[in-house]
Structure formats: C-alpha cells, structure tokens
Amino acid sequence: MFHFCLAMLSAATGETAMASVPTTLRIRRALEDAIVQGRYLPGTRLDPEALEQEFDCSRTPIREAFQQLEASGLVRVMPKRGTFVTHWSPEELAERFEVMAEIEASCGRLAARRISHAELDIFHEVHEDCRRLAEAGEVEAYYARNSEFHHCIYRATHNAFLTQEAARLHAMLQPYRRMQLQVRNRMTRSFAEHDAIVAAIRGGDAEAAARALHDHVIVQGDRFHDLIAAMRQTLA
C-alpha cells in the first residue's frame, strides 16, 4: 500500500511540475529537441494548427515559441508563408561552421587551463561512452554522447557567457552535425579527433586543445562537399 501511495504521489508531483512549466517554454523546448534530434528536418514547415492540437493550447503560445526559436536561429518566420526549420545555403552553412570552429577553439584553450578534477573525470566517462558507441557503430547514440562531449568542454571553460554562446550555436548546427555522422567513416574519424582533444585537455596543453577542436569542427574541402552531399540525400 505504501509503495502504491508513493507511486501515486510521484506521478502527481510529476504532473504538477509539468503543469507549472509555462506553455510557451514547454512548446519551445519540445520543438527545439525535435529539430536538434532531426525529427523536423531543415526546410520543414511547422504546422501551427497541428501543434495546437498536440499541445492542447491556443495559437498564442505557439506563436511566442516560434518567435523564441527564430531568435535562436533554429527557425525562420516568413510572412504569409509560415514558419520553417532553418535551411541555410552552402555559403551560410560554411560561415557558421567557421565561427563555431573559432568558438570551440576558445573553449578548448580555456578548458585545458581551467578544467577541474571532477569535470575531467566526467569528461573521460563521456569519452569512453563515445568509444564504445563508435566501436559498436551506434550512430544515433554516438550523436547524443558527442553532443555531451562538447558541452563538457564548454562548461569546463568556467566562463558563463562563452558557455551560453557555444551552446546556442551548437544547437543551431546540430541538425547538420547529425548529417555529418551519416557520411561513411565519419564517426570513426570523429572519435579519433576526440582522442586528440582529450589528450590535449588532460595534459593542460591549451594551444594543442584549441587546434584539435578547431580542426574537429571546421568544415572545408572534402568534408564540406561530403556534408553537402549528405544534406542532399537527407532532404531529397
């Protein structure tokens, strides 16, 4: 009886917590996750009527969530046409990866100098998870842990503004980084690059960490053409 009451209390508490989250925030988070996880592909039109039914709400919080997602760069609101998951041209995409590479390099440089022992332990655990998933060929699971790998580095900078900006651009580029992992052998190469990043940060070599992260993230040459090909296959 006690366990039954406890379960009922936990369920009620969970429902209360869910209900306490403002509707706009709840919708924005759900759509953000769906875009980042690839359930809404770049160029997809978001249907406000369908979302009203899904979230059992009026049009107002849907519109507010769209505005917040547009501010973060994940969607584009086009007057008289609708709201679409952002789909950049190859040139726009290259520019954003170039900026991301510079930001990640800065994060690596600071993380190599500032990471705590506790953070290093967590970083190593995430890295080992990535190793196991890469060896098993688990692309989707690797994609999720790869994201956490990078967030470990952002947090280790101990610079709240840089962490926030890195996470914002990371989320914006996630759908495209996910496509990169579909390219043949990219996951294996990605993990090898992680190895170099971990070694540099663990060794406190700030410049080596910055170089390794910049080279890991930058998309140019053959990697750029591979990404464009993956985009065309995914969005066809």
Q: 30-65: per-residue pLDDT in tens?
A: 998 788 777 888 899 999 999 999 999 999 999 999
| Same domain for 228 and 112 | yes
Average pLDDT over all residues of the chain:
86
82-135: pLDDT as tens digits: 999 988 888 888 888 899 999 999 999 999 999 999 999 999 999 999 999 999
The average pLDDT across 152-165 equals 98
| Same domain for 73 and 99 | no
Is the per-residue pLDDT at 209 higher than 80? yes
The average pLDDT across 149-170 equals 96
| Same domain for 75 and 150 | no
Q: What are phi and psi of 84, to 5 degrees?
A: -125, 145
| Same domain for 40 and 148 | no
76 Rama class: left (phi>0) / alpha (psi -120 to 50) / beta: beta
| Same domain for 94 and 74 | no
The reported pLDDT for the residue numbered 21 is 57
**The two three-digit tokens of residue 205, written as one number:** 């070599």
Tell me which residue has tokens 């053409």: 225
| Same domain for 217 and 110 | yes
| Same domain for 103 and 81 | no
| Same domain for 231 and 194 | yes
| Same domain for 208 and 108 | yes
Is the per-residue pLDDT at 221 higher than 70? no
The reported pLDDT for the residue numbered 2 is 38
Domain with 210 in it:
90-235
| Same domain for 126 and 72 | no
State which of 29, 57, 85 marks the end of a domain: 85
Count of domains observed in the chain: 2
The reported pLDDT for the residue numbered 10 is 43
**Pairing relation of β-strands 82-85 and 45-46?**
antiparallel
The reported pLDDT for the residue numbered 156 is 98
Q: Which of 7-11, 68-72, 92-96, 223-227 has the lowest mean pLDDT?
A: 7-11
Domain containing 52 — which CATH number? 1.10.10.10
Is the per-residue pLDDT at 159 higher than 80? yes
Is the per-residue pLDDT at 1 higher than 50? no
Q: Which of 104-113, 151-160, 185-194, 206-215 has the lowest mean pLDDT?
A: 185-194
Is the per-residue pLDDT at 154 higher than 70? yes
| Same domain for 136 and 51 | no
State which of 41, 61, 85 marks the end of a domain: 85
Q: Angle at Cα 99 formed by Cα 111 and Cα 28, nearest 5°?
A: 85
State which of 85, 107, 124 marks the end of a domain: 85
Share of the chain above pLDDT 70, in %: 85
Domain containing 175 — which CATH number? 1.20.120.530
| Same domain for 209 and 144 | yes
**Nearest alpha carbon to residue 122 among 153, 78, 161, 168:** 153
Q: Which residues contact 85 (CB under 8 A, 6 or more apart)?
A: 35, 40, 41, 42, 43, 44, 46, 74, 75, 175
